[in-house]
Chain A
């Protein structure tokens, strides 16, 4: 048995959450409430120290220092103040009458992602992946590689056909879409297998904590 108070608290919380498997109960609700509160607090503290301080405070400080030392405006660092102002505008949502102003920072955010992602996904996940799929269908003297490459090209092609929205899945086209969905299902199956693996690992570690660290039964 562990003699560490922390381990006992952790064990209580672990069992409390697991008790949900039997049925919803007050101990589970208590642990749930602790989790909700602690995690909100955790994010609050972390965001303050890792985003607000270094990104807003430090940059504006640099800008002020440059202004005092050299007497020039350092626009790049000053612009972080504008970021801070956008953040404050977000908080205006709390004031119902002018809450609509909070749409502006939101628009900046959505604009940023749409601009960045349009390019990033087009390049890395469309163009580069198409490039990766351009492989010889016949590899001299290597039957396995040839078959594998043909499967990759055909599978990708048919999979894309499945995602066609503006054409009815009928005839040859429908057949290809059918083959496509098979490939997609194999992908989901593989992904399911891996997920089972992942989840079981997590449970193993938790059980190891309960049986080993807490109860000290594993030597």
Chain B
């Protein structure tokens, strides 16, 4: 029962959505909106699940005085540091408007943390290109050559390196050509492949063949 009911639900919901694609008549035309909104609602509730989990793990660390317990306390504190002003002092639904305490925290704490995390990638990209991008074989060489032309062709440096060439052979033009033809072809092949893979996986789920996502007994 515990496994069969969910599989049946998945199958029915999936098939009814596929059918509704071909039927413009009410109520089929409403199904897509309704199911997607349900999805959002369930996901929103699931956030609660995640947060309880996070708080539990952090507080556990603190109670049991595990290694780094102090940082567990920081997690809990910073969680409430944004949640309390968010619900309490930021004007309800207008909570994100400039001028609210929630916005202040967002602007001066959340944004710098997030964008610095993202910016770290620049360093890792550089070190990865030094240590990992090797012309080991024909395939890797192709990858490197394409990357080389695109990287230089897409910035002003490319112009200064190749302005003496006829316009069609300058780095920028070569980069454009790579993007427009071989890149587009490869992109399409992967895209179509992925699409067919997705269709096939969806079909397996609707038929109840792919069932790992349900878990066990």
CA distance A183 to B178 in the complex (A): 10
A159-B186, A185-B143 given; A194·B150 CB < 8 A: yes
B38 touches A83 (CB 8 A): yes
A34-B113, A189-B147, A190-B179 given; A52·B41 CB < 8 A: yes
Q: Spot the interface stretch: A62-70, A104-112, A166-174.
A: A104-112
CA distance A133 to B142 in the complex (A): 23
Choose one: B76, B110, B215; the contact of A42 (CB below 8 Å).
Answer: B110
Interface string of A193-210 (1 = CB under 8 A from B): 111110110110110010
Choose one: B50, B115, B138; the contact of A182 (CB below 8 Å).
Answer: B138
B112 touches A10 (CB 8 A): yes
Give the distance to chain B from A181, nearest Cβ to Cβ, in Å: 6
Question: Which residues of A60-111 are within 8 A (CB) of B?
Answer: 76, 79-80, 82-84, 86-88, 90-91, 93-94, 100, 103-111
Give the distance to chain A from B15, nearest Cβ to Cβ, in Å: 7
For residue B179, which residues in chain A have a CB less than 8 angstroms away from its CB? 190
A108 touches B192 (CB 8 A): no
For residue A189, which residues in chain B have a CB less than 8 angstroms away from its CB? 142-148, 150
B199 touches A108 (CB 8 A): no
A9-B109, A205-B119 given; A86·B139 CB < 8 A: no
CA distance A158 to B87 in the complex (A): 56
A86 touches B41 (CB 8 A): yes
A116 touches B113 (CB 8 A): no
A7-B108, A76-B30 given; A36·B39 CB < 8 A: no
B107 touches A6 (CB 8 A): yes
B75 touches A79 (CB 8 A): no
A30-B71, A106-B214, A108-B42 given; A121·B195 CB < 8 A: yes
For residue A56, which residues in chain B have a CB less than 8 angstroms away from its CB? 41
B39 touches A109 (CB 8 A): yes
Question: Which residues of A113-148 are within 8 A (CB) of B?
Answer: 113-119, 121-122, 124-126, 129-130, 132-133, 148
Q: Of residues A7, A29, A188, which shows the largest number of chain B Cβ atoms within 10 Å of its Cβ?
A: A188
The residue of chain A having its C-beta at the shortest distance from the C-beta of B122 within the complex is A203
A contact set with B: CB distance below 8 Å: 6-7, 9-11, 13-14, 17-18, 20-21, 29-49, 51-53, 55-56, 76, 79-80, 82-84, 86-88, 90-91, 93-94, 100, 103-119, 121-122, 124-126, 129-130, 132-133, 148, 151-160, 162-163, 180-190, 192-197, 199-200, 202-203, 205-206, 209
Contact sample, A vs B, 18 pairs, CB 8 Å cutoff = A14-B112, A29-B71, A35-B117, A36-B54, A38-B113, A41-B80, A76-B34, A107-B6, A107-B214, A108-B42, A111-B13, A121-B194, A121-B198, A151-B181, A183-B185, A186-B143, A197-B154, A209-B112
